[in-house]
Structure 1
């Protein structure tokens, strides 16, 4: 068994350095990456990897970072890739992030200084009960932290650094892939898997300590366009059919006690309006549609359409258009064909001294699409919690265990080759 000793100060400093760099992605941008500032972190990571001796490390024109830690084994070992995304969610500001380390957490409320209405309470964050004595990192109250997924980025970088500095730990070729725009569903749009040259991968983007996830939502995006009838408001009686009001009626008619994020859990899917814009003449509602069952995605889209048709019975001169776009699919179908990938991940978590938790994600990762692109890729815990919010937090000790898990995964594939 490997005796791995991760330097907690080094890992903490690395994470904080990355967290301070604004890498928020933009769902309304058509550029790749969606925001140029994501490349600021990408260039830093590529430079750090080059300094470690990974001579092929580079940031490409699309904002992806590629690198290889060469094999130190005489065996023919499967090529393993570790992947995390560099962008942070558009749901909360990622500008001017001020990470705070709360040392030796003892269960107290964590009041964030820049907005003292933002308070982390154990009653609201159940996993805090497992963090007594640990060091908790939060932001300062006005931004997200960015542990989703800079915790994963930092853990991969720390693991690669450790392996480069400890050549007695045997491993095959290790590929590193850092992606942009995962938070807006475009994380692997321009990923070059031929250049990457990996046989399998693990995203490091999960939540709870010990979790390994082989199943995600399947996901579609939907845009509903309402074409109303405009008229001068002073002379609109019997003529105007406001697209804004029609959109409001449609939203009000959708289910609230089921098929809605705030009323679903576990394997239950949902239809979620995430944005609306428009005028009297035309309005647009943007939805995300989620379920673990692909067939139910179709049923959920039908619900949107049938609800729209029923509402429009009251607006006989208006019309609609519903456009559905596939985003990603449940990776379990692919991963079930490669059980050893999960088995080796579980074994690595055990070797890190952690109880493995095999579970599903009520969300998606780059691994969903990578799996369907020919690179089977489950998700390993990074330790991030309350992501996409100002209450986001991560435990340094959980990050250490994730780093150890990465190192064990690399070693297990060499050991079993």
Structure 2
């Protein structure tokens, strides 16, 4: 019998298993189950299962049947030797160690059994045409040689990679006026291509080269781990946990098109319907200019059973906050504003100043923006006293050094990453190790 692995999908693991039973019968055995598509407001969930199925092996040839018959006959002889007159097996201890019994007759009997078993085993090896000891020796020698070759190939690959990275970027002529040792060339190349600001990269590389223990500098892998740890410690992140019972108000601000409304919808679901802790959540929208966006947000709020109010003037905003006084969290959506639109920025400032409550302001920016644009956006919105950053559209870019430089230069902590378009799923609390992994290795999506 041969074992074959097959996969089946369904909207639930039970449905996928039914499909497996229908096609493969009762012999199908469940191996693994995983969800490959989460449930969203617009999509149904999708599960995948892996089952093992026993399939009949091909029929044996006449020669194989004859050889198997001989082996079976010899095995029967062994069984006859090891069974007593009552057909019950002898205790294993008497066969394994005949000297534990002082009775000479039993010792002789056990010795005879061992001798016959040994002879039968030799006959089986002869019939099967296999010498186990020789095969094991050859296998061990072969594996040893394979391991040695693999190690040498790995060393050669490392040297080739270092040479390739050393001549990268016009034969190292543009290395920010710093000397990059060969072992650091790979990590330098990755950081350079990530879009990180040149002055940031230069300072970090110099700090790494000067402060890294000499025992770690000879291996590119340890250099990358050290560099990874250094970058991670440079990125402040803020957990949005509710440690007190005091109401929190979070306002999302930022330029047009960065996904503020979509991000707010994800956050509303996360806080109101979280797996561990659920908070009574309300929504206020100040973005009354875009009717389509307002209608969409109201629809999301209705689906999530969350109260939502709109406000046109600062007085309306203050009244809306009072109306939602029973909520643990109030999320505030705002109109998109160009960083150059002073009038809209002044209007937002008036809402904050006259609302009569402490408002936590999160600047929402897109991961695909250039670092110079990101810094200009931050500097113009800074008049609103930015508390945290929220980074969106991770799925729309391949470089993330610009985000690193924004956080590093402003010193403002990041609170959330929006990693896709699906509401409410594609949102995660910001983790420095995740962003550094994106900077050096790229965004892996659902992987």
TM-score range, shorter chain: under 0.3
Higher relative contact order (CA 8 A, sep 6+): 1
Structure richer in helix, relative to its length: 2
- Which protein is richer in strand relative to its size? 1
TM-score (norm 2): 0.21
User: Which entry has the higher C-alpha Rg, 1 or 2?
Assistant: 2
